[in-house]
Amino acid sequence: MRYFREVFFPPYEFQEFLKQCYYIGNKSFTLVSITGFIMGIVLTLQTRPTLIEFGAASWMPSMVGIAIVREIGPVLTALICAGKVGSGIGAELASMKVTEQIDAMEVSGTNPFKYLVITRITATLIMIPVLVILSDIIALFGSALVEYIKGGVTFELYFSKVFEYLDFSDLIPSVTKSFFFGFAIGLVGCYKGYTSTKGTAGVGRTANEAVVISSMLVFIIDFMAVLVADIFYEL
Amino acid sequence: MSCNMKFSVNYSEPPAIRIENLHKAFGANQVLRGFNLSVWKGENLAVMGKSGSGKSVLIKCIIGLETIDRGTLNVLGENIPDLHQKKLDNLRSEIGFQFQGSALYDSMTVRENLEFPLRRHPDKMGKNVSADELVHAALEDVGLLHAIDRMPAELSGGMKKRIALARTLIMQPKIILYDEPTSGLDPVTGKEISYLINEIQQRHHTASIIITHDLACAKITSNRMVILHEGKNYAEGSYDVLAASTDTPVKAFFT
């Protein structure tokens, strides 16, 4: 609640917010890209024989596209970010607390909550959807590559098939839930770090708890998002 | 500089810090039980006490990091418990706090560590003085200008303490609170830091409270000492007076 009370009021820590956006985006991009690419390849390789058996190989691009954009891309990216970003934020803030850096910040006339917590939560809120979109694109390229090598399907044809069955209504729930994933990851990391206790031993425990709780929240949010999206699809 | 440093204190002026009947508890643990203290501009007051006796809590109350339960806590004419956040932040810019573990920001270089408080209080910079000039001057004060672009992880314990001191000095504080300034240092570096505290006192004429366990540090830096025992100021006087005391709790610190 304190986040919502303070996020809209000055002073705004833009510089720290941009720095956090850069760290989250830049440091996770490689990992998210590699896993997205591999996931696109694996998904296509695993599904291909079955679809060929049923004579439905032409459905491959649209099926993989929908699976990646609606579900696999957002959840996979969020889980990776929960591990990398969530634990990083938790450990960093816990370590700052243990070494009195948060107190030092307060003493120097800075609101540590605004400087450390609001910037990080807002940065994850913004950057995780961006990473999800990038991961989706890279996963689709991985899938297209397999189709090109195995079935001689050109990239142009592959993507025209993907977008034939993928529309804006697939993208909206996917991106929307990514914002919630980002918020949850930032919130859990910051909360666990900011309220960390028991000295240096607490730092490791905080990082661990941040990953476990935010990963769990990703699945819960995903489940709820699917239920809500399903209502809209039926309308 | 010798430990017989001359302190020019005007006791007829109002004290920079005035504490009366201060109480502070953490749950059932009553840490401060009616503590009284006055510190004037131009003096170094050392506070000694056993571990867990509430020495660090005392200075954290002074700077508003801990709230007090009862009593009067007046700093530079302001009653700390009555201050709103904005006023407290402004007052904090007049108070330097040297943390026990230095508390340098790990993710920032030495330069950025020193610039950080300045960015929060741009009024502390003169019209014709840049932040860079102030950073250079503060680092020269502590003899570590060459470390300006290093990260805290690359510094030794003594260097970290000096940099933290420079970060405090850059705000030109009227009061400096030192929390165990020599802890974790070898005796030689500890003495260097103690003499540096005296040099700072001479140059900036601050009112300082030095929380310490280190007798050598207390002897070098203080013109007055307070023994904190069972939550109260048990004994008070110069180092020599307290060292000659036959009272058992006081004697325990000097043997």
Which helix (H) or strand (E) segment holds residue B54: the answer is none
Quote ipTM for the complex.
0.87
Q: B182 and B194 in contact (C-beta within 8 Å)? A: yes
Average pLDDT over residues B1-8: 57
The answer to whether A101 contacts B65, with C-beta atoms less than 8 Å apart, is no
pLDDT digits (tens, 9 = 90+) for B149-169: 999 999 998 899 999 999 998
Q: Distance between CA atoms of B180 and B187, rounded to whole angstroms?
A: 13
Report residue A199 CA to chain centroid gap. 30
A11 prior amide bond cis, ω within 30: yes
The answer to whether A96 contacts B106, with C-beta atoms less than 8 Å apart, is yes
Q: Which of A162-171, B91-100, B205-214 has the lowest mean pLDDT?
A: A162-171
Instruction: State yes or no: pLDDT of A21 exceeds 80.
Output: yes
Average pLDDT over residues A61-68: 91
| Residue spans of alpha helices (H) in chain B | 55-62, 85-92, 110-120, 131-141, 157-169, 187-204, 215-221, 239-243, 248-254
Choose the closest CB to A101 out of B95, B103, B117.
Answer: B103
Distance to chain A for B255, nearest Cα, Å: 32
Choose the closest CB to A100 out of B103, B120, B171.
Answer: B103
CB of A99 less than 8 A from some CB of B: yes
Confidence of residue A210 (pLDDT cuts 50, 70, 90): very high
Ordered domains of chain B (ranges, CATH): 17-254 (3.40.50.300)
User: In a mutagenesis test of the B interface, which of A97, A98, A108 is the best target, namely the one with the most B β-carbons within 10 Å?
Assistant: A108
Which residues make beta-bridge pairs with B24? B32
Where is pLDDT greater, at B20 or B252? B20
Which helix (H) or strand (E) segment holds residue A113: the answer is none
Chain B residues near residue A105 by CB distance under 8 angstroms: 105, 116
Choose the closest CB to A106 out of B65, B93, B105.
Answer: B65
Taking the alpha carbons at both ends of chain B, their separation in whole angstroms is 26
Average pLDDT over residues A181-191: 96
The answer to whether B105 contacts A110, with C-beta atoms less than 8 Å apart, is no
Q: B113 and B167 in contact (C-beta within 8 Å)? A: yes
User: In a mutagenesis test of the B interface, which of A107, A110, A119 is the best target, namely the one with the most B β-carbons within 10 Å?
Assistant: A107
Cβ within 8 Å of residue A9, ≥6 positions away: none
Which helix (H) or strand (E) segment holds residue A129: the answer is helix A119-151
Cβ within 8 Å of residue A132, ≥6 positions away: A73, A74, A77, A78, A174, A175, A178, A181
Average pLDDT over residues B95-100: 92
User: Can you give A6-52 as a three-state secondary structure string?
Assistant: HCCCCCCCHHHHHHHHHHHHHHHHHHHHHHHHHHHHHHHHHHHHHHH
Instruction: State yes or no: pLDDT of B172 exceeds 50.
Output: yes
Q: Which of A31, A67, A82, A73 is nearest to A217 (CA)?
A: A82
Question: Helices A199-234 and A168-194 meet at what angle, rounded to 10?
Answer: 160
Confidence of residue B253 (pLDDT cuts 50, 70, 90): confident
Residue with tokens 């938790």: A90
Q: Which of B83, B45, B51 is nearest to B64 (CA)?
A: B83
- What is the percent of chain B where pLDDT is above 90? 60
The two tokens of residue A115 are 């400087």
Cβ within 8 Å of residue B128, ≥6 positions away: none
pLDDT of res. B6? 64
What is the dihedral angle through the alpha carbons of A119, A125, A126, A127, rounded to the nearest 10 degrees?
A: 90
CB of A11 less than 8 A from some CB of B: no
| Upper half-sphere CA count for residue B101 (Cβ side, 13 Å) | 16
Angle, vertex CA B18, rays to CA B15 and CA B19, nearest 5: 160
pLDDT of res. B1? 41
User: In a mutagenesis test of the A interface, which of B67, B80, B92, B123 is the best target, namely the one with the most A β-carbons within 10 Å?
Assistant: B92
Confidence of residue B180 (pLDDT cuts 50, 70, 90): very high
Confidence of residue B45 (pLDDT cuts 50, 70, 90): very high
Instruction: State yes or no: pLDDT of B3 exceeds 70.
Output: no
Q: Distance between CA atoms of B51 and A61, rounded to whole angstroms?
A: 69
Q: If you count residue pairs, one on A and one on B, with CB atoms under 8 Å apart, how many are there?
A: 49
Confidence of residue B5 (pLDDT cuts 50, 70, 90): low
Cβ within 8 Å of residue A199, ≥6 positions away: A98
Query: Residue B19 burial by CB count (10 A; 0-12/13-18/19+): exposed, middle or buried?
Result: buried
Give Cα separations from B201 to B9, B69, B195, B206, B227 (angstroms): 11, 32, 10, 6, 22
Instruction: State yes or no: pLDDT of A9 exceeds 80.
Output: no
pLDDT of res. A166? 83
pLDDT digits (tens, 9 = 90+) for B113-123: 999 988 888 77
pLDDT of res. A8? 76
Q: Distance between CA atoms of B218 and B16, rounded to whole angstroms?
A: 20
Average pLDDT over residues A195-208: 87
Report the relative pairing of strands B207-211 and B224-229 from DSSP bridges: unpaired
Taking the alpha carbons at both ends of chain A, their separation in whole angstroms is 33
